[in-house]
Amino acid sequence: MRYSAFSVFLNALRGNKGWKPAWRSPVPKNHYDVIIVGGGGHGLATAYYLAKEFGIINVAVLEKGYIGSGNVGRNTTIIRSNYLLQGNNPFYELSMKLWEGLEQDFNFNAMVSQRGVLNLYHSDAQRDAYTRRGNAMRLHGVDADLLDRNTVRQMLPFLDFDNARFPIQGALMQKRGGTVRHDAVAWGYARGADMRGVDIIQNCEVKGIRRENGVVTGVETSQGFIGCGKLALAAAGNSTTVTDMVDMKLPIESHVLQAFVSEGLKPFIDNVVTFGAGHFYVSQSDKGGLVFGGDIDGYNSYAQRGNLATVEHVAEAGVAMIPALSRVRVLRSWGGVMDMSMDGSPIIDRTHIDNLYLNAGWCYGGFKATPASGFCYAHLIAKNEPHETGRAFRLDRFARGRMIDEKGVGAQPNLH
Amino acid sequence: MASLIACPHCGPRPKEEFTIRGDAGITRPTPDAGEDAWYAYVYLRDNPRGRHKEHWHHTSGCRRWLVVERDTMTHAIYAVSDASAPGETA
């Protein structure tokens, strides 16, 4: 059923009895052309674009939990394309363009809100670095504005402009950045893929990968063996758990990242704002809760929960930026498990096994990349060659010295 | 993550006193070991879902490098020893 104002009206008249589940719960077939491991945002987007753009519909998405239970439902919902480096910028800008047309494209209200993302700067050196990044963005055709202190003060008067250690001098703003309702992204892609014939199989954990003569023939799952022509991994957070099944070691560690939401408040923060002197970012949801987060906890973890020292650190950074936050009560905190790669950038590539594809290493920037990741990965799987904007995310870039180290901290995953 | 790490020199101490380096299973290759060995040393890590041995530094204590064996899923700590102890890599 196509969703529209008319369908809402018609169903209301009929007592809302006409709504159907947004996707089926099929029994897995014996064989698929493509199996995607991982029913998160990236896996579902890949299935959606495979079916819609590349005409491959004999596809299954295997999800060990339920749709929306992983990182696609555990992030801080921010979208932006304010990247400096050549390998990153066109890719994230493709993602931004796809976000801009996404709701019409998959006929689902994802509440895309381009409310603007501001990165605060606190010193002359930081202003210069942000100017450079803003110029790089503009050269790539991305919008960027350098705001001075007074402009920021008019927009966000509640910031601590005269903080003794980190006075705010201004901000780099991307007006097209913003937030998206994260669950709706998963649901919209799942529904769009399902409508085009993709089987979404929940509660189906991959336990092993069967190989014959050097190629993958299928996967052993908690629902039995399922054969496939091509196997596409999109299990970020647990990528190495899956690649261990084919004795493949990745330049990735799994780390936990926490996020928080406060009690509902009246409209207060109109944009997404990031602190430049510590790791803290905040926006206000449509329900009124402040959604915020900080750094990863710093040690390898597969537990979807974090520790209190990081909670304290995030709260300190938040209060240093917005003193009024000290009186806000936090409702919930949660953790998600991230693939932290060795240069802070993702991997979308073929592997040493001909029909095995890899999508991994999203660090904590995976949500904003969802549409472009799905699009580029679908392109790679369908045509066996990378999409032009995803070419830099090669698995062998570490060995070849072509890292995409946006933060410039080197091969130390817990620093990215 | 467990709240306390039992440092072999200082006794049980809060984990905030420690800094993590990561996988203790990697050893520095010889200078002429070749590109593959150096690539593996710099970029590849064990990332098990379960028992894992890591280097932790007791930054705010004895400043010794330790090998901590812990569970990355439950965060239980099984063993802590000095990195220079026999059988450990440093």
User: Tens digit of pLDDT for each residue in A12-38?
Assistant: 999 999 999 999 999 999 999 999 999
Q: What angle do CA A397, A399, A401 make, to 5 degrees?
A: 65
Three state DSSP letters for A138-204: HHCCCCCEEEEHHHHHHHCCCCCCCCCCCCCCEEEEECCCEECCHHHHHHHHHHHHHHCCCEEECCC
Give the nearest partner residue to B44 out of A251, A299, A412, using CB atoms: A251
**What's chain A's average pLDDT?**
96
A400 to chain B, minimum CA–CA distance in Å?
9
Look at residue B87 and tell me if it is in a domain.
Answer: no
CA distances (Å), A183 to each of A76, A111, A144, A373, in order? 11, 10, 28, 17
A44-58, A324-338, A371-385, A399-413, range with the lowest pLDDT:
A399-413
At A82, list the tokens: 């304010």
Q: What is the CA radius of gyration of chain B?
A: 14
Q: Any bridge partners for residue A225, and if so which?
A: A220
Chain B contact for A344 (CB, 8 A cutoff): no
Strands A224-233 vs A59-62: parallel, antiparallel or unpaired: unpaired
Task: Give the pLDDT mean for A381-409.
Answer: 95
Task: Give the pLDDT mean for A362-369.
Answer: 95
Task: Give the pLDDT mean for A239-256.
Answer: 96
Chain A contact for B45 (CB, 8 A cutoff): yes
Instruction: Pick the closest to residue B66 from B28, B30, B29, B12 (CA basis).
Output: B12
Task: Give the pLDDT mean for A37-52.
Answer: 98
Whether A254 and B72 lie within 8 Å, measured CB to CB: yes
Give the nearest partner residue to A299 out of B20, B42, B45, using CB atoms: B20
Residue of A244, A250, A301 for testing the chain B interface, max B β-carbons within 10 Å: A301
Q: What is the pLDDT of residue A145?
A: 98
Look at residue B90 and tell me if it is in a domain.
Answer: no
Range(s) of the domain holding residue B15: 4-82
B73: burial class by Cβ within 10 Å (0-12, 13-18, 19+)? Answer: middle
Chain A contact for B28 (CB, 8 A cutoff): no
CATH of the domain at B44: 3.30.2270.10
pLDDT of A7 higher than 80: yes
pLDDT of B1 higher than 90: no
Split at pLDDT 50, 70, 90, the class of A247 is: very high
Contacts with B, A 246-265, CB within 8 Å: 249-254
Whether A301 and B22 lie within 8 Å, measured CB to CB: no
A185: phi > 0 → left, psi -120 to 50 → alpha, else beta; which?
alpha
Look at residue B23 and tell me if it is in a domain.
Answer: yes
Name the one residue in this structure whose structure tokens are 């949660």: A334
Q: Any bridge partners for residue A199, and if so which?
A: A60
Q: What is the pLDDT of residue A335?
A: 95
ipTM: 0.93
Report percent pLDDT > 90 for chain A.
96
- Domain count within chain B: 1
pLDDT of A389 higher than 80: yes
Q: What is the pLDDT of residues A195-214, one digit of tens each?
A: 999 999 999 999 999 999 99
Q: What is the pLDDT of residues A84-127, one digit of tens each?
A: 999 999 999 999 999 999 999 999 999 999 999 999 999 999 99
Look at residue B12 and tell me if it is in a domain.
Answer: yes
Look at residue B19 and tell me if it is in a domain.
Answer: yes
Split at pLDDT 50, 70, 90, the class of A416 is: confident
Chain B contact for A7 (CB, 8 A cutoff): no
Q: What is the pLDDT of residues A168-194, one digit of tens each?
A: 999 999 999 999 999 999 999 999 999
Look at residue B89 and tell me if it is in a domain.
Answer: no
Chain B contact for A240 (CB, 8 A cutoff): yes
Alpha-carbon torsion A287, A23, A374, A28, what sign? Answer: positive
Interface A–B counts its CB contacts (< 8 A) at 61
Q: What is the pLDDT of residues B17-71, one digit of tens each?
A: 999 999 999 999 999 999 999 999 999 999 999 999 999 999 999 999 999 999 9
Q: What is the pLDDT of residue A174?
A: 98
Look at residue B88 and tell me if it is in a domain.
Answer: no
Residues in chain B within 8 Å Cβ distance of A301: 1, 72, 75
Look at residue B30 and tell me if it is in a domain.
Answer: yes
Q: What is the pLDDT of residue B89?
A: 61
Whether B1 and A238 lie within 8 Å, measured CB to CB: no
Residue of A302, A316, A338, A398 for testing the chain B interface, max B β-carbons within 10 Å: A302
Q: What is the pLDDT of residues A118-174, one digit of tens each?
A: 999 999 999 999 999 999 999 999 999 999 999 999 999 999 999 999 999 999 999
Q: What is the pLDDT of residues A269-303, one digit of tens each?
A: 999 999 999 999 999 999 999 999 999 999 999 99
pLDDT of A396 higher than 90: yes
Chain B contact for A342 (CB, 8 A cutoff): yes
Chain A contact for B4 (CB, 8 A cutoff): no
pLDDT of B90 higher than 70: no
